[in-house]
Structure 1
C-alpha cells in the first residue's frame, strides 16, 4: 500500500470512528437499565388505580409484564455468564449461585440456580443455542433451565451431532408460546425415552446408569418430595425394599404374641418406613458395612482372658456347632466374623465417649438379642438399631450391657412411651 492509499485508508477509519466512545456499551447498559427502572416506576399503579383499568388493557399490561420479565432475565443471564467467564465468583471463593445471591439479594435461589444451569451448557458448541435463546429473550429463563438440565443429563450418552439435534428440538419447543411448561417437560422426558429406545441393550444399560438421579422439591413447610430415576438393576433393589418384609404390616404384640395394637399405617407410609429403615441402617452404624449381618457369618468363640486362648467350641448365632479346626480356618476368611466372648459374655464397653455402637458392639448385640428385642417382634438384627436403655441425652453410656436392638417401628414406640428395660444373663426384658 502506497502513501496515498494508506492516507485514504486512515481517513476512512477516522470517519468510521467519529463519535465513537470507548465506554459506550457500558453507558448504554447503565443508562438503559436506569431508564427502564424509571419507566417502570411511572407505569406502576396503586391498588385503587388498578381497579379502574378495563379488562382488555389489563390483559395487555400483564402480557407486557411477562415480556419485560423475560427480557430482564435475558439481561441478567448475559451479565451472569460474562461474570462466570471472568471467574468473578471464584475470586471470592463462592459458587456462581451464591455469588449471584450476594450481589442480588432479591434474586430467588431458584432463578440463580437456573442461570447456573444455562451457563453450564452454553459453553458447549453442541448446546450453545440454549444460552443464545435465553440471552435473546426468545426463551424464558425457567424454560431454558429445564432444557439445560435435560441436556446435562443426556450429555454422557450422546454424540456431538446427537446432542446438537436434541438441543435444537428442545430449544425450539421451549420457544413456542403455545406449549405450556408441562408440555415442555413432556418433550424433555420424551427425549430421554427416545434415547434409551435407540440404544443397543448394552449401550442402553450404560445410558440408563448415566441418567440415574434423585431430585427434591419442597411441597410445603415440613414436607419434601423426592423423585428417583433408577436403572433397572437399582430399581429392582429399591423395589425389593419397598415390597419386602420391612414394608409389611407390623402390629404390636405382647410377649405372648397377642396383638395389642394394629398397624394402621397406609401402604405408602409402610414403604416410606421401609426405605428409611434401610437408610438409617447405613448411617446408624458408622464404620460397619451395610451388609454386616446379612452377608457375614458370625462365630461365637468363648475366650479365656487369663490364658489368652479359646475356651470351648464355636457356635453360630443360631446354635449350630462348628468344629475347632473349621472355626479356625473360617475365622481367617473375609466372610466370617469371629466374636470372642468373655466369661460373662460381655463385649467391649466404650462408656460415654462414643455416641454410636461400634461395629464390634453391634455384632455382639446381634448375637445376644438375635433381632429386635421387643416382645413378639421377629425383625432380624440387620434391620435393627442399637438403642440406649439409659438415654444418651440423659447421660447413658454406650455399653453393650446397657443397650438393646430395636427395629425402627419399636424404636419409635419405645421412645414415644419412654419404656425401660433390664438386661440379665444376656436376655433383655422390657417393662411394658
Structure 2
C-alpha cells in the first residue's frame, strides 16, 4: 500500500507543476473532476488506515490519551476534526459497508458519507437491516445530486422510500422528540450592559418562533427611499413598536401597560433652552433629544432645580395624551401623519408640535400622531410640522430636500 501511495504522490507532485495555463477549458474542468474523484478515494484509504490504527491501540502505545489526540499531533488537525475522523472510520467499519464502498469508488465525499452513515444507523434502529441496506442505495444515488446539507434534509424522510409502513410512526416519534427538546431548551436572557443598553439572547421553540416573525416582518420594510436603516436596525425598531403596542393595550398584568416613567432633573435655564439631559428612574442618563422625544407620549415627573440645586417645582405624574383626547386625535389623523406612512394609530405616539418644555399645551391643536420611526426622525432632522388651515397636520421638508419647502401631507389614510 505504501508503494502505491508513494507512486500516487509522485503523480500528484507532477500535476502541481504542470503548465495548466496552456490547457483548454474543457481539460481544466476534466482535471478538476479527476482531482476531486481522487480526493474522495484517498479519503476512503485514510479512513481505513485510521480505523486499523485505532483498533490496534497504536495511539495509547505511543503515549497519547486517544486516537483523536494522536491524530491531532501527527496530522496537525484540530481535536474536533480528528475526533470526527475517528468516529466516521468506526461507523463505516462497523455497519455501513455499502457507504464505505461508495466512498472508495469516489462516489461520495466524506461529509456525504457521514450524513448517510448517520441516517442509515437511524433506519437500522427503526426498521431493521433490510431497510438500512435499501437506504444506502437510495442515499448514495441522491448524493450524486445533493450536497451534505440537502442530503441530511432528504434523509429525514428516507423511510417513505424504504419502509413506508413505518414512516408515519417514525416521523411522529421524531416530531415528538424534537418538540420535547425544544420545550426543554427554550429560554430568553436579558443582559443589561454598562451603558444602559440591553442584549437579548435566547432560543425559541418552533411554535413561539413563528410569533415574532409574523409580528416583526411586516414592520421591517424600509419607510420610503430615504430610509437608511440597516436590516438589523429595522428589526430593532420593529421590536420597539411591538412593545409600545403591547403597553397600550392595557391588558398586561398589574404594574404593566404604561410607557417608561421619565424623571427629568435639570436646571430651569437648560430646560428652556432645550439643553437639559434627563435621567431615568434606573439611573441611566439620556440625551436632551431623547428626553424631548420620549416626553411626547409618556408619564412625566418633571423636577426643575434652581441655581442652587434646590427643587423649584415637582409636577404631579400625569398622562399627556390619553383618553378622549387621544381618541379625537386618532379620528383626525387616522394613523401616522407623516407623508407616505401607512402605520395605523395603534403603532403611533402622540407628538407635541410645540414641546411642553417650550410652553406647549396638551391639546388637539398641539398634537400629531407619529409612528416610532417618524417620531425619531422628526426629533433628529430638519423636518417641521404644523397644522394647516383645515386643522390637519402638514410637514415642511428641509431646504436641502425641497428648496421651496412646500408643505406635504399624508394622503394614505382615507379622510371622511
Instruction: Give yes or no for TM over 0.5.
Output: no
Scaled by the length of structure 1, what TM-score is found?
0.40
